[in-house]
Amino acid sequence: MVRLRQSNNKINFALAGMICFLMFLPAMAQAKVFNSETFTLDNGLQVIVIPNHRAPVVTHMVWYKVGAADEPQGLSGMAHYFEHLMFKDSKNLQPGEFSKIVKKLGGNDNAFTGQDYTAYFESIAVSHLEKMMEMEAGRMADLDVPPDHFHSEKQVVLEERRQRTENDPRGIFNEQMKSALFVNHPYGTPVIGWMSEIKDYEWKDVKKFYDKWYAPNNAIVIISGDVTAKEVKPMAERTYGKIKPKEIPPRIRTQIPPANGQTKMTLKHEAIQQPAFQNLRIAPGYRENKKDSLALMVLEEILSGGPTTRLYKNLVVDQKKAVSVGFSYDGNALDHGTIWISGIPNQGVTLEELEALTKGEIEKVIKDGVTKQEVADAVQRMEDAAVYARDSVAGPAMTFGYSITTGSTIDDIENWPDLIKTVSVKDVQRVAETYLDENNPWLRPAITGYLLPLDADDGKKEGETK
Amino acid sequence: MVRLRQSNNKINFALAGMICFLMFLPAMAQAKVFNSETFTLDNGLQVIVIPNHRAPVVTHMVWYKVGAADEPQGLSGMAHYFEHLMFKDSKNLQPGEFSKIVKKLGGNDNAFTGQDYTAYFESIAVSHLEKMMEMEAGRMADLDVPPDHFHSEKQVVLEERRQRTENDPRGIFNEQMKSALFVNHPYGTPVIGWMSEIKDYEWKDVKKFYDKWYAPNNAIVIISGDVTAKEVKPMAERTYGKIKPKEIPPRIRTQIPPANGQTKMTLKHEAIQQPAFQNLRIAPGYRENKKDSLALMVLEEILSGGPTTRLYKNLVVDQKKAVSVGFSYDGNALDHGTIWISGIPNQGVTLEELEALTKGEIEKVIKDGVTKQEVADAVQRMEDAAVYARDSVAGPAMTFGYSITTGSTIDDIENWPDLIKTVSVKDVQRVAETYLDENNPWLRPAITGYLLPLDADDGKKEGETK
């Protein structure tokens, strides 16, 4: 049940950039790709239906427009903790019963939390769809977790944090980098929350969070699979339709102050075997600037979209300077997008050298631009990838959820192939200059991290950091 | 009126460490130094009287136990902004009238805001003391600023921020360093607030802040000068005594997560003439750990207490490696204290070299300790400095305010000479090891900043940062 929880979106930059991108892009990559339908219930709940009639199955998702970035001061991790509690006691259901029923009916369920959303889903035979809707509606309206279950779940979440972050120096290091980058912005706080704050949750705070954000008019239901909107609508009315709407408060999103100077973090640790650099930069999200966001997607594809693209071909294959090197852009965010540049040098190559070579490849784009052919190839690859997206039942539902909860429209998703084709050679060069040229005085904040193994002479003291 | 505003305490580390230290220490440096008296009114207002009968004058201060660190999310700078508004309209007073009256009576007044407190004061002939109390009580109870005055004051504060921070690359850089150091803690937010948030204040938010925190039971009145508690008490009852207490909410102070790795920020800027390094570290405040805090004060004095102490003598005078070099410790904080190590190298010496030499001096303390004579000399100098403290009328009031609002007791202040004498040679070595040894895996977070002039070949583009 908890495998997928703590969504990788904006949580683990080491993985998330690529995963999110794959989820986002392919699904958007055909003209009127999904032929989705949408309607809104009287209580404000939006329902999106993505028909796919290859097999009698559906993926049913509920996306709440609340995430870690909406948590009150001092209660970091609350959105994710709350996601756990949703599997506890609710109307007519005992703790754990929700998932047991899904399993018994041959399906599977899970949930995950990001900075901007919290999502719950079940994949199951279409004949059980209404039952799933009834159960999700039940916990949307009537969660009722007694204090002892509330407290016991803390141990589960604390253990989750220990395993994923505390016991992994890279985990702590990534948190530190993001905290330093996202100054005065909630994206600098990890989705899972700070250890000290998870420990101090009180039931009244959790209850307040639920009462404030969990409501039909703050959710989107997405159903992908062997159904039509016409079939879904009466079911939605019978289940979710019974829940009263609430007044939803505005989401407070503070602004990152301008910064100058360069920030570099270094971690030496015995658990690190290969040195690596990572450069994390703030870039526009799709909601903030669609045109630039699309151009950044194409730039990513040109630089790092496969074995024949610039970074890999030049630095790994031809010059043999790197074991791996990457450039990824994630624009799926209500507020700020990010660019993540990283590399692991080959033996005999220093981190500084590989970092300079990688930046050199980006400077080439800034100075000389890219070719028409490169843009055409990149767009083609992105469209090709999208062909596969429609094969999946769950994938398109994920894509709609990620995109809509971070500010895209259904039209953006359905018309994505037309949109991505508008990106020109000049656009690609322009966004490289705007968001990556270190001589640009208005460049957004960035941070560089160096991960280093212990030197031979550093000794091997347990838990030592230098 | 606004000269002293935006207190240097924890705002500008480049200056504040030393200033605060001087204010804090000398005043604490005699056994029963001040023979202060204290009483509390029925409404919870604490009054401290520090008699000084050399001249018929007083300094009258009101310290509110609220500061920048208590501001709500997204409303940074509110405590300081509010301090400005206190000079606007209140019961029977027009904007600016408060200061005009003080001036007409031959006195002067001002105010300042820190992370943990907001303070207002008047220095004036003792015959006008009750008038001052009446006026302060007036604005404690009945501030009433109309919307147009509220909005016009924004421009004043925005201009203050532009002058002190935006137009000074060091200002922005110091803010950045503190933001990166104080992860998940309000001390990472500048007292004056972020530009984008000052712009967006609304009158209702400001009013809420006032209603929440400005009350007699959340304030301390400190009167230093030609009075006794017996004389002050009836005046306090006639003025402040009339104000009703409020229920004061707990102050939410989040915790800094553990960090590993090293963080370094570099700023190259044309406005910087001399390269400099600064190393800012988290250390215990006096409230958190009195014993260690006292030992850190002695360590500071041994390393950097004058021309004959270690850093200056070794690096500036003997080795001629530095133009200046310093070590300062500030423990005056409800939450975290700080250590600030800094240096400007002589020509021909690199920042890296001077940083290593300075750390080398600290490592000597960790490895070899200090001498009994050094500790005795340091304590003697600290006590000598305190002799002068009693000459001042305003100084002792400041000291009491800073100390009491950050967790010291009156006994701590009055008995400070006895307390500082308890610091042993071993204590000094121990705190150096605990808070400064980079091989200590439990070392608290730290950050290093390098300020660099533009290189000859960097060009001189306007506003450029690299």
Chain B residues touching A192 at Cβ < 8 A:
none
> Interface pTM (ipTM) of the complex?
0.80
pLDDT above 80 (res B188): yes
Catalytic residues of B: 83
Asked if B257 and A196 come within 8 Å (Cβ–Cβ), the reply is yes
What is the strand order of the sheet B262-268 is part of?
A322-330, A336-345, A276-284, A446-452, A262-268, B262-268, B446-452, B276-284, B336-345, B322-330
Chain B residues touching A179 at Cβ < 8 A:
180, 183-184
Q: How crowded is residue B39: how many other Cβ atoms within 10 Å of its Cβ?
A: 15
pLDDT for the residue numbered A6: 35
Which of A242, A276, A292 delimits the end of a domain? A242
Radius of gyration of chain B (CA): 23
Name the strand (E) or helix (H) holding B102: helix B97-104
Q: Is B139 on the interface with A (CB under 8 A)?
A: no
Whether B354 is in a domain gets the answer yes
- Pair B219, B317 in one domain: no
pLDDT above 50 (res B125): yes
- Pair A210, A285 in one domain: no
Whether B249 is in a domain gets the answer no
Question: CB of A137 within 8 A of CB of A239?
Answer: yes
Mean pLDDT, chain B, whole residue set: 89
Taking only the tens place, the pLDDT of each residue in B402-451 is 999 999 999 999 988 889 999 999 999 999 999 999 888 778 999 999 99
- Pair A392, A437 in one domain: yes
- Pair B86, B159 in one domain: yes
DSSP A152-221: HHHHHHHHHHIIIIIT-HHHHHHHHHHHHHSTTSGGGS-TT--HHHHHT--HHHHHHHHHHH-SGGGEEE
Going A382 to A383 to A387 to A393, the CA torsion angle's sign is: positive
Going B219 to B225 to B229 to B234, the CA torsion angle's sign is: negative
Q: What is the 3-state secondary structure (H, E, C) of A414-448?
A: HCHHHHHHCCCHHHHHHHHHHHHCCCCCCCCCEEE
Whole-number Å distance between alpha carbons of A355 and A438: 13
Average pLDDT over residues A106-131: 97
Among candidate residues A396, A411, A4, A35, the one with its CA nearest the CA of residue A224: A396
Longest CA–CA span in chain B (Å) reads: 70
CA angle A197–A198–A201, rounded 5-degree value: 85
Q: Which of residues 177 through 196 in chain B touch A, CB cutoff 8 A?
A: 179-180, 183-184, 188-189, 194-196
From the list A83, A301, A355, A383, the catalytic residue is A83
Shortest distance, CA A165 to any CA of chain B (angstroms): 12
Is A91 in a helix, a strand, or coil? coil
pLDDT above 70 (res A384): yes
Lowest mean pLDDT among A111-115, A270-274, A445-449, B229-233: A270-274
- Pair A279, A421 in one domain: yes
Is A143 in a helix, a strand, or coil? strand
Number of domains composing chain B: 2
**Pick from B176, B254, B461: which is nearest to A197 by CB?**
B254
Chain B residues touching A183 at Cβ < 8 A:
176, 179-180, 188
- Pair B394, B431 in one domain: yes
Which of B242, B277, B311 delimits the end of a domain? B242
Q: Which of residues 427 through 466 in chain A touch B, CB cutoff 8 A?
A: 438-439, 441, 449, 461, 463-466
Shortest distance, CA B123 to any CA of chain A (angstroms): 38
Boundaries of domain holding B107: 13-242
Pairwise pLDDT comparison (A21 vs B63), residue with the higher score = B63
Q: What are phi and psi of A232, to 5 degrees?
A: -75, -35
Q: Is A169 on the interface with B (CB under 8 A)?
A: yes
Q: Is A260 on the interface with B (CB under 8 A)?
A: yes
pLDDT for the residue numbered A167: 86
Whether B418 is in a domain gets the answer yes
Taking only the tens place, the pLDDT of each residue in A28-83 is 444 478 899 999 999 999 999 999 999 999 999 999 999 999 999 899 999 999 99
CATH number reported for the structural domain that contains residue B28 in this entry: 3.30.830.10
Whether A248 is in a domain gets the answer no
**Pick from A73, A172, A255: which is nearest to B254 by CB?**
A73
Whether A465 is in a domain gets the answer no
- Pair B134, B180 in one domain: yes
If you search the block for the tokens 């631009």, which residue do you land on?
A369
Residue B317 is given by DSSP the state I
Chain A residues touching B194 at Cβ < 8 A:
184, 254-255, 257
Which of B210, B242, B274 delimits the end of a domain? B242
Chain B residues touching A195 at Cβ < 8 A:
257
- Pair A200, A315 in one domain: no
pLDDT band at residue A466 under the 50/70/90 scheme: very low
- Pair B78, B43 in one domain: yes
pLDDT above 90 (res B127): yes
Q: What are phi and psi of A357, to 5 degrees?
A: -65, -40
Whether A252 is in a domain gets the answer no
pLDDT for the residue numbered B17: 34
Whether B184 is in a domain gets the answer yes
Question: CB of B336 within 8 A of CB of B384?
Answer: no
Pairwise pLDDT comparison (B269 vs B343), residue with the higher score = B343
pLDDT for the residue numbered B7: 35
- Pair B428, B283 in one domain: yes
Q: Which residue of B has its CA nearest to A189?
A: B184
Taking only the tens place, the pLDDT of each residue in B363-392 is 999 999 999 999 999 999 998 877 777 788
Pairwise pLDDT comparison (A149 vs B343), residue with the higher score = B343
- Pair B200, B308 in one domain: no
Whole-number Å distance between alpha carbons of B134 and B139: 9
Q: Which residue of B has its CA nearest to A264?
A: B264
Chain B residues touching A262 at Cβ < 8 A:
265-267, 466
Amino acid at residue number A97: E
pLDDT for the residue numbered B385: 78
- The gap between the terminal CA atoms of chain A, to the nearest Å, is 38
- Pair B51, B136 in one domain: yes
Whether A54 is in a domain gets the answer yes
Shortest distance, CA B255 to any CA of chain A (angstroms): 7
Asked if B260 and A267 come within 8 Å (Cβ–Cβ), the reply is yes
Longest CA–CA span in chain A (Å) reads: 70
pLDDT band at residue A4 under the 50/70/90 scheme: very low
